[in-house]
Amino acid sequence: MAVLRFHALKEALDRKPVEVDESIKRSELFGENVFNESTMRQYLTKEAYQGVMSAIQHGTKIDRKIADQVASSMKDWALSKGVTHYTHWFQPLTGGTAEKHDAFFETIGNGLAVEKFGGSELVQQEPDASSFPNGGIRNTFEARGYTAWDPTSPAFIFGTTLSIPTIFVAYTGEALDNKTPLLRALQAIDKSATAVCKYFDKNVKKVTASLGWEQEYFLIDKALAASRPDIILTGRTLLGHSPAKGQQLDDHYFGSIPTRALNYMRDLETECMLLGIPVKTRHNEVAPNQFELAPIYEESNLAVDHNSLLMDVMGKVASRHNFKVLFHEKPFAGVNGSGKHNNWSLSTDTGINLLGPGKTPMSNLQFLTFFINTIKAVYDNEELLRATIASASNDHRLGANEAPPAIISVFIGEQLTKVLQELEGVTDGKLSPEEKTDLKLNVVGKIPDVLLDNTDRNRTSPFAFTGNKFEFRAVGSTANCAIPMTVLNTIVAKQLKDFKIEVDALIKKKDLKKDEAIFNVLREYIKSSKKILFEGNGYGAEWEKEAKKRGLSNNKTTPEALKAQISKKTLALYDEMEVMSKVEVEARHEIELEEYTMHIQIEGRVLGDIARNHVIPTAVKYQNMLIENVKGLKEIFEQDYKKEAGEQIKLIREISEHISEINSKINAMIEERKKANKLEGQKAADAYCNKVKPYFDDIRYHCDKLEIMIDDELWTLTKYREMLFTR
């Protein structure tokens, strides 16, 4: 019998839901472990409080004296909560988070010790983080890396550690993390968007980009996950026959949440409350044992930190509930994969959502300005946007008839499509008073009504307008949102900057009124970027053809898609918007290519191992049983045995054929890996993508065939039905 599998199954079936205490109201728990504004007010001197607030709001520098005061108060606060250690918490280019704990404890001689934490420890640290990927930045400059406090994201306590969000940069200034470029992009969008806002309201001083992510994930019993080497080593199943029942009945989506999973969510949400992560929504997703969690949206930098922190906390809480949480975009073939929709909008310090239609024609012109500029930015940079969501794991999802395709397009709904069509007909140059009135009353003025009943939804669109925000849906569930958010904010910042220049030029040179100039420029943008608008079925084969005609890119694999990251156009964009230098961009490109290669390499090795160490031996065992059976039949029936043993003999043959196919395909795959390993960078990634990876499906096919032929009791690998339907 397959001991590990059946032990795991027994363990999983015997589990009871872990009890969770929710006696304290969430509003009371919220932010309890965060050094937020209200805690600062309580713990800091007025001077220190103002210093930090001004750094948050205006990016001013915090001087040494204030830093010392803040550190000392943070320490007092943390000690009052039983904290022993502190850490600079950062987001290296692995995509995850990193921390290195130091105790507050210090000796002061004479056998005495105290708890200490000064401004210098708060502001800057030099972790010997030399093993993080740096894409050659540190070798080139022989520079060390340091972490520096990001006061815009508040410190928090998890467990007994005070975590201080930081950026991670080389001494020569290059960013070694995902946060630094994001912060620069957020500055760029603030600058460009605020300048454009001034056409409509002189009082606007700051524009903030908001992000509301929706995290999808699978929950699998810990023992079952541990019985699958592929899940442990690659985060997904590399083989496994589809169960007779999958998601065909749609009976999981929004269904009643199984108790064990619900208790996990309640526990997780309690942790989130303490950490100030404003989680709000939870539900079952489409695939069995797939779920989703979404917060109330926040300022982008904070939202990104919260998502990274959440993913870490999710894993830890899962363990308490005897689950393993799977973030992989496609952990199981044949059922839906997981994404992480990034809902994005821009809002002013005067409280206006720039992507939400307003109450007056003028505020609606402002809405249209930001709406159309975003569409234009996406059109002009569709390939770069595609690159930001590229990864070995997201490749399984994009275009797999369940997730947005690899072609970037924008969905805006029928009503707004009509509005844009009308605007396309605006007169060139000066507008007559009649036309102006007509535009105000019948086009721009109608938008709020239009949007109220705009229930248009298109699940197949990678980038959809949903009433008061754009939803970037193609982002993968494992992604660090900083990467897509950096690009989105940068391209829109650049677009708004160009827009301002064009409008100003029309006002000055053609003597147009401000709104005339805006209408004129928007008209041209609609014309030049309407190829990106698509309302139809993004999964259909017709769309691929149509998109090709329109000249839109369709980069299906990561090595293909990543090329856009280092194009001349991209480098110029990042340089102009001061988001990343050439060195920083090239480093990230190199790291992502290498990560892709490693990923496929590991999957190839694991697949070869399981096929040879699990599947083939089990097949041989079963084949031997059949052989014994045939021998026995021959003994009893003598010459006549073939009539009785015909089916068994057929099975014996089939098993041999599958074994032989598996073996020869693994050998061929290993040969291709050897060749690929001699290559580097783009060439290595291409080889892994086009020469190695195609063997995965072949090998899997034969393994899965064996799975349904072989005695269930012998099969060592926990089956799909067991992983997906045990709860």
Site residues for Mg ion per CB under 5 A: 341
Stretch that binds ligand ADP, among 25-33, 263-271, 340-348, 624-632 (CB under 6 A): 340-348
Amino acid in the structure at residue 525: Y
> What is the spatial distance between Cα 597 and Cα 93, in angstroms, rounded to a whole number?
16
Find the shortest distance in angstroms from Cβ 334 to Mg ion. 24
> What is the spatial distance between Cα 111 and Cα 209, in angstroms, rounded to a whole number?
52
User: Element (H or E) spanning 115, and its range?
Assistant: strand 112-115
Find the shortest distance in angstroms from Cβ 471 to Mg ion. 5
Q: Which residues contact 141 (CB under 8 A, 6 or more apart)?
A: 170, 171, 172, 174
Nearest 5°: the CA angle 643, 647, 652 is 125
212 binds ligand ADP (CB under 6 A): yes
Burial of residue 85 (CB within 10 Å: 0-12, 13-18, 19+) is middle
Q: Select 493 or 652, whichever has its Cβ closest to ligand ADP.
A: 493
469 binds ligand ADP (CB under 6 A): yes
Among positions 341-400, residues that touch ligand ADP (CB under 6 A) are 343-345, 353
468 binds ligand ADP (CB under 6 A): yes
From ligand ADP, Mg ion, none, interface partner of 156 (C-beta below 5 to 8 A by class): none
Minimal CA–CA distance to 492: which of 195, 176, 167, 152? 195
Find the shortest distance in angstroms from Cβ 280 to ligand ADP. 7
Stretch 490-529: interaction string toward ligand ADP, x if CB under 6 A:
----------------------------------------
Find the shortest distance in angstroms from Cβ 297 to ligand ADP. 3
Residue in the shown chain whose Cβ atom is closest to ligand ADP: 212
Question: 288 is written with which tokens?
Answer: 């069995």
From ligand ADP, Mg ion, none, interface partner of 695 (C-beta below 5 to 8 A by class): none
Find the shortest distance in angstroms from Cβ 380 to ligand ADP. 23
Minimal CA–CA distance to 537: which of 396, 401, 378? 401
> What is the spatial distance between Cα 599 and Cα 696, in angstroms, rounded to a whole number?
13
Q: Which residues contact 16 (CB under 8 A, 6 or more apart)?
A: none
Q: Select 229 or 467, whichever has its Cβ closest to Mg ion.
A: 467
Q: Select 177 or 216, whichever has its Cβ closest to Mg ion.
A: 216
> What is the spatial distance between Cα 118 and Cα 298, in angstroms, rounded to a whole number?
30
Find the shortest distance in angstroms from Cβ 665 to ligand ADP. 42
From Mg ion, ligand ADP, none, interface partner of 345 (C-beta below 5 to 8 A by class): ligand ADP
From ligand ADP, Mg ion, none, interface partner of 386 (C-beta below 5 to 8 A by class): none
Q: Select 214 or 590, whichever has its Cβ closest to Mg ion.
A: 214
Exactly one of 223, 294, 616, 687 binds ligand ADP (CB under 6 A); that residue is: 294
Q: For residue 464, what are the β-bridge partners? A: 411, 471
Question: Which of 597-613 are b and which e, b meaning 16 or more Cβ less than 10 Å from the residue's Cβ?
Answer: bebbbebbebbbebbee
Among positions 218-257, residues that touch ligand ADP (CB under 6 A) are none
Find the shortest distance in angstroms from Cβ 34 to ligand ADP. 19
Find the shortest distance in angstroms from Cβ 343 to ligand ADP. 3
Q: Select 43 or 291, whichever has its Cβ closest to ligand ADP.
A: 291
Q: Select 307 or 409, whichever has its Cβ closest to ligand ADP.
A: 307
Q: Select 34 or 294, whichever has its Cβ closest to ligand ADP.
A: 294
- Please name the residue ranges forming H helices in 89-210: 119-123, 137-141, 179-197
Q: For residue 93, what are the β-bridge partners? A: none
Q: Select 346 or 587, whichever has its Cβ closest to ligand ADP.
A: 346
Find the shortest distance in angstroms from Cβ 341 to Mg ion. 5
295 binds ligand ADP (CB under 6 A): yes
Find the shortest distance in angstroms from Cβ 343 to Mg ion. 6
Do 175 and 181 contact (CB within 8 A), yes or no?
yes
Exactly one of 296, 452, 620, 709 binds ligand ADP (CB under 6 A); that residue is: 296
From Mg ion, ligand ADP, none, interface partner of 296 (C-beta below 5 to 8 A by class): ligand ADP
Stretch that binds ligand ADP, among 308-316, 367-375, 464-472, 663-671 (CB under 6 A): 464-472
Q: Select 341 or 397, whichever has its Cβ closest to ligand ADP.
A: 341
From Mg ion, ligand ADP, none, interface partner of 690 (C-beta below 5 to 8 A by class): none
> What is the spatial distance between Cα 299 and Cα 196, in angstroms, rounded to a whole number?
20
Exactly one of 150, 190, 214, 516 binds ligand ADP (CB under 6 A); that residue is: 214
Q: Select 161 or 215, whichever has its Cβ closest to ligand ADP.
A: 215
How many other CB atoms are there within 10 angstroms of residue 568's CB atom? 7
Task: Please state, in angstroms and as integers, the Cα–Cα distance from residue 201 to each residue in 134, 189, 210, 502, following that order.
Answer: 43, 17, 20, 19
E strands, 422-524, where? 463-465, 470-472
Q: Select 5 or 341, whichever has its Cβ closest to Mg ion.
A: 341
From ligand ADP, Mg ion, none, interface partner of 295 (C-beta below 5 to 8 A by class): ligand ADP
User: Element (H or E) spanning 114, and its range?
Assistant: strand 112-115
Half-sphere exposure of 16 (CA within 13 A, CB side): 3
Stretch that binds ligand ADP, among 435-443, 463-471, 492-500, 672-680 (CB under 6 A): 463-471
Q: How far is CA 564 from the centre of its chain?
A: 19
Whether the CA torsion 26, 27, 32, 36 is positive or negative: it is positive
Burial of residue 92 (CB within 10 Å: 0-12, 13-18, 19+) is buried
Find the shortest distance in angstroms from Cβ 382 to ligand ADP. 21
Amino acid in the structure at residue 3: V
Residue in the shown chain whose Cβ atom is closest to Mg ion: 341
Q: Which residues contact 424 (CB under 8 A, 6 or more apart)?
A: 523, 526, 527, 530
> What is the spatial distance between Cα 174 and Cα 168, in angstroms, rounded to a whole number?
9
Q: Select 397 or 469, whichever has its Cβ closest to ligand ADP.
A: 469
Minimal CA–CA distance to 609: which of 699, 486, 513, 679? 699
Among positions 681-720, residues that touch ligand ADP (CB under 6 A) are none
Do 417 and 464 contact (CB within 8 A), yes or no?
no
Q: Select 51 or 357, whichever has its Cβ closest to ligand ADP.
A: 357
> What is the spatial distance between Cα 637 and Cα 625, in angstroms, rounded to a whole number?
18
SS (H, E, C) 319-380: HHCCEEEECCCCCCCCCCCCEEEEEEEEEECCCCECCCCCCCHHHHHHHHHHHHHHHHHHHH
How many other CB atoms are there within 10 angstroms of residue 489's CB atom? 29
Do 191 and 496 contact (CB within 8 A), yes or no?
no
117 binds ligand ADP (CB under 6 A): no
Q: Select 83 or 209, whichever has its Cβ closest to Mg ion.
A: 209
Q: Select 146 or 344, whichever has its Cβ closest to Mg ion.
A: 344
How many other CB atoms are there within 10 angstroms of residue 103's CB atom? 13
Among positions 148-167, residues that touch ligand ADP (CB under 6 A) are none
Find the shortest distance in angstroms from Cβ 279 to Mg ion. 15
Find the shortest distance in angstroms from Cβ 457 to ligand ADP. 8
Find the shortest distance in angstroms from Cβ 345 to Mg ion. 13
From Mg ion, ligand ADP, none, interface partner of 236 (C-beta below 5 to 8 A by class): none
210 binds ligand ADP (CB under 6 A): yes
Which phi-psi region, left, alpha or beta, contains residue 325 (left: φ > 0; alpha: ψ -120 to 50)?
A: beta
Amino acid in the structure at residue 528: S
From ligand ADP, Mg ion, none, interface partner of 212 (C-beta below 5 to 8 A by class): ligand ADP
From Mg ion, ligand ADP, none, interface partner of 469 (C-beta below 5 to 8 A by class): ligand ADP
With CB under 6 A, what is the number of residues at the site for ligand ADP?
14
Site residues, ligand ADP (CB under 6 A): 210, 212, 214, 294-297, 343-345, 353, 466, 468-469
